[in-house]
Structure 1
Amino acid sequence: LLWEHFSREVGRRPTLMAGHSLGEYTALAACGFFSFEDGMRIVRKRGSFMEEACPSGKGGMVALIDPVMELVEMEVQRKGALLAIANRNAPDQVVVSGEMEALKELISGLRGRGYRRAIFLNVSGPFHSPYMKPAAERLEEELRKIEPKRMEIPVVFNVDAEPFRDGEEVFEKLKRQLYSPVQWERSMRRMAEEGIELFIELGPKNVLSNLARKVLPHVETMNAERLVDVERIKEALK
């Protein structure tokens, strides 16, 4: 609804689109790759498959603020299959996903030397990690039932931070997204390489706008949570 209102009222076509994790499906629906109804059906299936892939409470995710990446990556690798980098959001923020006890050991082992602050996320499982591979296989079956359409606007994908417009390769990217890190910092930098200087965030709060400014301090950002915010953006773009 917010995207439709924005498109109608602002009347300016974005050059590129992107969505963080689940938001990637919103971007794909907005750019016309699949219908709103197909998007809702796939998102529901995706959530169910992810919940079933790992019992509740067994795994989780933790955000590390101001991480020393060399130390974090070394400790994650040392844990093997138990941990994985889940989100590379900004220079000062990375998210680690995995088995809960291994996450606690990571936080304890790096305390005072590997990060400034650790925040356990309110999620039910170790998303964007190899634990989600069974869910990814099931998701692919559902994705293949969709008849894809050519995107009206290219989307920069989470798994490789590359803009893409059409083709069934999108299904493979969405499958991999479930068990691969969200390359959000790289995505922002890739969009800047394409000449993007204004980032407009549609949706609740302004988390992604804040991340964009951390990655690219020189860019301008705007965000719209409500329909009335679109009017503010429309006036600013005149």
Structure 2
Amino acid sequence: MSKTAFVFPGQGAQYAGMGKEFYDNFEESKEIFERANQALGFDIAKLCFEGPDQDLSVTKITQPALLTTCMAIYEVLKKNNKDDSVVMGGLSLGEYSALTAAGAMDFETAVKLVYNRGNYMQNAVPLGEGGMLALMGCTDQDAIAFCEDVTKSCGLLEPANFNCPGQIVVGGKSEAIDEALSKTSQFNIRRAVKLQVSAPFHTSMLKPAGTKLKEDLAKINFKKPKCNVISNVDTEYYEDDQVIADKLEKQVYNPVRWEECVRKMIADGVTTFVEIGPGKTLSSFIKKIDKNVKSINIDSIASLKEYIELSYA
């Protein structure tokens, strides 16, 4: 039996105006934004709808803004979903949206948690002391060997995101990033692009953020997800509520294994991926991972209607 996966984007997918169409047209969506405003104590809806982009790109704002937008769209989709065989997943921050959608925690808990997570991640490494690179056109093995070589010669560099074939993100110390840019040709890397991010996310340099987040996670009474939700850390499904806190802590300073997550879901019968939230980043990755599966993005009413029509066809 073919399955559908609902997947949620991570940081970088945000844009000013996201979610406004749903807020204006669906009571369920409006309620989510209002609940977020109340839980956070500031107007996250206004930031989502109006920006400016500079404010929306601050990590501690980006994370609750994206989770809120994704859940505002999901609440509308949920009413119209007839597929019981759903699997869920998300890229980095998106895993929190997946767990919330699957009932592992309530929305207020999730939005406050990711606000704190963003704060911890933003402050874990002093500005200017770390960075990230996107490596294009190389294998996982080439990227790992590249990181090991740079680390030996001039400072920490580690894999951070295994996104899809030919696109791997690495992060580490600023001096290592600068050195790495001159070494790519030695490791079958077609191109390296320096990313405009404030810290080396998903590397061991973020362990202080994981330690702080662990304290918050320990206070939450998680519930067993209502459907299979896949973890970025080990590409396994959350079997029960007892492992959620541990995996979410480790996710902060371990690589995101998105390609493996997608391949696992496909091996388990997923034939359609529905990306819920701003942008088409995950849909793009999924097409590169396996061109035989269907990938749909829902970030507008038009795309929602299109998906519903396809579901009932």
Q: Under a length normalisation based on structure 1, what TM-score does the superposition of the two structures give?
A: 0.95
Matched residues in 2 for 1:135 and 1:127: separation?
A: 10
> Counterpart of 1:230?
304
Residue 202 of structure 1 is matched in structure 2 by: 276
Q: Which residue of 2 aligns with 1:84?
A: 158
What is the Cα deviation at residue 18 of structure 1?
0.3
Partner of 1:128: 202
User: What's the CA shift for 1:27?
Assistant: 0.7
Q: Provide the aligned C-alpha RMSD in A.
A: 1.5
1:57 touches 1:124 (CA, 8 Å); kept in 2?
yes
Give the drift of 1:113. 5.1
Q: Deviation at 1:155?
A: 0.6
- Is 1:217 the counterpart of 2:217? The answer is no
- After superposing the two structures, state which structure 1 stretch, 215-224 or 112-121, moved more: 112-121
Residue aligning to 2:104:
33
2:132 partner SS:
strand
Asked whether the equivalents of residues 144 and 171 of structure 1 are also in contact (C-alpha less than 8 Å), the reply is: yes
Q: Is the 8 A contact 2:139 2:165 kept in 1?
A: no
Partner-residue secondary structure (3-state), 2:75: helix
1:170 to 240, 244, 248: 244
Matched, 1:160 2:206: no
AA aligned opposite 1:12? D
Amino acid at match of 1:99: K
2:143·2:159 contact (CA, 8 Å) conserved in 1? Answer: no
Tell me the residue number matched to 2:21.
none
Pair 1:139-2:213 in alignment: yes
Equivalenced residues, count: 238
The equivalent residue for 1:56 is 127
Q: Is the 8 A contact 1:67 1:93 kept in 2?
A: yes
Q: Distance in 1 between matches of 2:239 and 2:300?
A: 28
Whichever residue aligns with residue 28 of structure 1, its letter is L
Aligned residues of 1:154 and 1:163 also touching (Cα < 8 A): yes
Question: Runs of 4 or more off by more than 4 Å in structure 1?
Answer: none
Change (3 A) 1:20 1:14: farther
Given that residues 5 and 227 in structure 1 are in contact (C-alpha distance below 8 angstroms), is that contact kept between their aligned partners in structure 2?
no
What is the distance in 2 between the residues matched to 1:69 and 1:151?
A: 31
Q: Do the aligned residues in 1 keep the contact of 2:140 with 2:162 (CA within 8 Å)?
A: no
CA–CA distance in structure 2, aligned partners of residues 42 and 14 of structure 1 = 28
Q: Percent identity?
A: 36
Counterpart of 2:206, as a letter, is M
Query: Residue 83 of structure 2: which of 3, 8, 12 is its match?
Result: 12
- Give me the whole-angstrom Cα distance separating, in 1, the residues matched to 2:84 and 2:191: 39
What TM-score, normalized to structure 2? 0.73
CA contact (8 A) 2:102 2:227 kept: yes
Name the SS of the counterpart of 1:139 in structure 2. Answer: helix
Letter in 2 for 1:32: G
1:165 Cα deviation (Å)? 3.8
Aligned residue for 1:221, secondary structure, equals strand
Deviation larger for 76-85 or 226-235: 76-85
Q: How far apart in 2 are the matches of 1:133 and 1:113? A: 28
In the alignment, the residues of structure 2 paired with residue 142 and residue 202 of structure 1 have an alpha-carbon distance, to the nearest angstrom, of: 26
C-alpha displacement of 1:140: 0.7
Give the unaligned 5+ runs of structure 2. 1-71
2:306 alignment partner AA: R
Once residues 123 and 141 of structure 2 are traced to their aligned partners in structure 1, the CA distance between those partners, rounded to angstroms, is: 33
